[in-house]
Structure 1
Amino acid sequence: MSATDLTHLAAPGTEIAVRVTPKASRNAITPQDGRLRVYVTTVPEAGKANAAVVKLLSKALGVPKSRLVLVRGQSARDKLFRVLG
């Protein structure tokens, strides 16, 4: 399910709550309990997992990575991203 279509969330100012699972067996995004579960295969060290999440989200949203900013949760599993205009 890595080709999840989230373009309806790509409006500027939209805040997207995600729960990240690092070291997963595959990269995927699934909706769950009003937020997105994001599974990435990378390890959670030196920002690698965050970078993988941004890459996956930007592809699903259809926006450049530069339009996604991590608002909260730099080192937590629960993160909040905002789409910039």
Structure 2
Amino acid sequence: MSVRLTPGSAKEAIGGGWTDAQGACWLMARVRAVPEKGRANDALIALLSKRLDWPRSAILLESGDTNRLKRLRIIGGGAAAARLTAHIATWVEQT
């Protein structure tokens, strides 16, 4: 999953899409946590876990530790892949 994270936001939210210069689409997310010592990354994983109803331990940050553009891996989505994909597609369509 590709996410463009905005830390230090007034509220936590997931929704909307952002396209980079290479044409890749990124899901947009905002968290209240500041980008210090991994706090914003932890908050993003917690937010996704809550919204997807998925274990936090099954959502891993693969890249983007100190970057606003993150790549995450969701483990164990085989049986629930359709549900996860539907949630994510709904979020990207939001403005």
Structure with more helix by fraction? 2
- Same fold, judged at TM 0.5 (above): yes
Q: Counterpart of 1:40?
A: 31
- Aligned residue number for residue 70 of structure 1: 61
TM-score (norm 1): 0.78
Aligned pairs for 1:6-85 (under 5 A) are 16-33=1-18, 34-85=25-76
Question: What RMSD, in angstroms, separates the aligned Cα atoms of the two structures?
Answer: 0.9
Aligned to 2:86: none
TM-score relative to the length of structure 2: 0.70
How many residues are paired up?
70
* AA aligned opposite 1:56: L
5+ residue gaps, structure 1: 1-15
Q: What is the aligned-residue identity percentage?
A: 40
The structure whose RCO (Cα within 8 Å, separation 6+) is larger is: 1
Cα offset, 1:36, TM superposition: 1.2
SS at match of 2:15: strand
Would you identify which runs of 4 or more consecutive aligned residues in structure 1 move more than 4 Å? none
What is the distance in 1 between the residues matched to 2:11 and 2:26? 19
Q: Deviations over 1:26-71 (max 9, x none)?
A: 0000121432111011110011000000000111111010000111
Question: 1: CA distance between counterparts of 2:35 and 2:29?
Answer: 13
Code of the residue aligned with 2:67 in structure 1: it is: A
